[in-house]
Amino acid sequence: MATTDYEAVPAVERDDAAPHLGTVVMKFGGTSVADPDKLKHVAGRLVAAREGGSRVVAVLSAMGSTTDELLDLARQVSRRPAPRELDMLISVGERISCALAAMAIHDLGHEAISLTGSQAGIVTDTVHGKAKIVDVRARRIHEALDQDRIVLVAGFQGVSADSFDVTTLGRGGSDTTAVALAAALGAQVCEVYTDVEGVYSADPRLVPNARKLDVLTYEEMLEMASSGARVMATRSIEVARSHNVRLHVRSTFNDAEGTWIREEDGTMLEKALISGVVHQREETVYRVTGANASRLFGKLADASVNVDTIVQTGAEIVFSAPVEDRPDATRALDELGVSWSARDDLGKVSLVGAGMKSHPGVAAKTFATLEAAGIDAPVVSTSPIKIACHVPSADVDRAVQALHEAFELG
């Protein structure tokens, strides 16, 4: 059977075997299901959605620190646990959450069924620990929905097409499970529940008058997620964009409208110039000379270094990557035999907004704002909808506040 790579194919692939009207996929992260009381609360939300008339598919993460506790056990028995066995081990956390949620839903008088990634038809490649979804065979989900059940799917995991082994999807895996299911089921919306009310114009802990954003384009959300907004995994937003899955990021704890993420359309033409300011307090910035760019970034990709910004001027290539990737990056650069240096004292502030595409003055105003605040920006990179400035880590908070103020985002 031909398979669809859900994480790569840029087309809407829908399973037309069953009616789609009114299906909603609801994803809850680990903090939303951290203990039995929180699980019961989530069960109540799922029942409310069902009673509202939707066909409900929920994707749950593992409870609180379950996965970390399992990883700790693994470290106690093995210096370097085999990836296949690690996946077998850590995939149990989401199953526990789903089975418990199904029980809690039964107690509320509704039918529910929990499904493992495998039972839910989440078919992946065999790259244990960071598997990619290649197909969703949703027969059991359709059957259960047709039987008027709330369906609970264990996030973050699947089954390998070749070997029928349990696989896990790596960082942001549950978000990706939810979006892939929403695409396969033709869901009306994929709701991502979190402990904040949506995506904000800046981190409210830094900027007290930060504003909740009503709507973002996929591109804006991608830029924001990859520049420091932690509300959804970048990878899952890419899948949503490829398959045109409407996302709604909202609070687990109240019914307020959150932030919608969808394709740009006529109603969004008048939207604000800038949507928000996102930041990362630290990132490692590398300067490399004497390297061939394609060999350099091929090597870094093989070493699983998550390269973020790349800026090239002349013979020097500058790129940034997460601080925790430094050991892998160091090994890769040394093996390449290039001349390089790195600094760990920079963070990053990014202005994101689809509106800036047609407003060339944004960059100038950004630089003027930072200059007025006495903040140096040694590395700058831009995309059509983003300006990212690396600034000293110590100045990140002030830079966010100054830009949020200057662009009147409050």
- Give the footprint of a second copy on this chain (CB under 8 A): 36, 39-40, 43, 70, 73-74, 76-82, 84-86, 88-89, 92, 95-96, 98-104, 106-107, 112-114, 116, 119, 164, 166
Q: Tokens 């959804």, residue? A: 232
Give the Cβ contact number of residue 250 at 10 Å. Answer: 22
Token pair for 134: 């290649």
Structure-block tokens of residue 349: 């502030």
Min separation Cβ 134 and a second copy, Å? 20
DSSP secondary structure letter of residue 212: B
Indicate the residue among 80 and 205 with the shorter CB distance to a second copy.
80
Report in angstroms how near the CB of residue 70 gets to a second copy at its nearest: 7
Q: What are the CA-CA distances from residue 397 to residues 35, 54, 133, 266 (Å)?
A: 33, 42, 37, 35
Q: Position 101: which residue type?
A: A
Min dist CB 99 to a second copy, Å, is 4
Q: What type of residue sits at position 125? A: D
Nearer to a second copy, 9 or 74 (CB): 74
Q: Nearest to residue 168, comparing CAs of 86, 69, 66? A: 86
Smallest distance from a second copy to CB 77, Å: 4
DSSP 106-163: HHTT--EEEE-TTTTTEEE-S-TTS--EEEE--HHHHHHHHTT-EEEEETTEEEETTT
Q: Give the three-state DSSP class for 227.
A: coil
Least distance from a second copy to the Cβ atom of residue 114, Å: 5
Q: Nearer to a second copy by C-beta: 88 or 303?
A: 88
Buried b (16+ CB within 10 A) or exposed e, 287-307: ebeebeeeebbebbeebebbb
Q: How far is the CB of 26 from a second copy (least distance, A)?
A: 18
Closest distance of CB 83 from a second copy, Å: 10
CA dihedral 121, 126, 127, 133 (to 10 degrees): -30
Query: Would you say 73 or 323 has its CB closer to a second copy?
Result: 73
Least separation in angstroms between residue 319's CB and a second copy is: 35
| Alpha-carbon gap, residue 332 to 220, rounded angstroms | 31
The amino acid present at 82, given as its one-letter code, is A
Identify which of residues 36 and 53 has a Cβ nearer to a second copy in the complex. Answer: 36
Comparing CB distances to a second copy, the nearer of 86 and 291 is 86
Minimum Å gap between C-beta 53 and a second copy is 24
Query: Of the two residues 32 and 259, which places its CB atom closer to a second copy in the complex?
Result: 32
Using alpha carbons only, give the angle 145, 150, 170 rounded to the nearest 5 degrees. Answer: 100
Query: Which residue number, 39 or 199, has a Cβ lying nearer to a second copy?
Result: 39
Closest to a second copy by CB, 43 or 56: 43
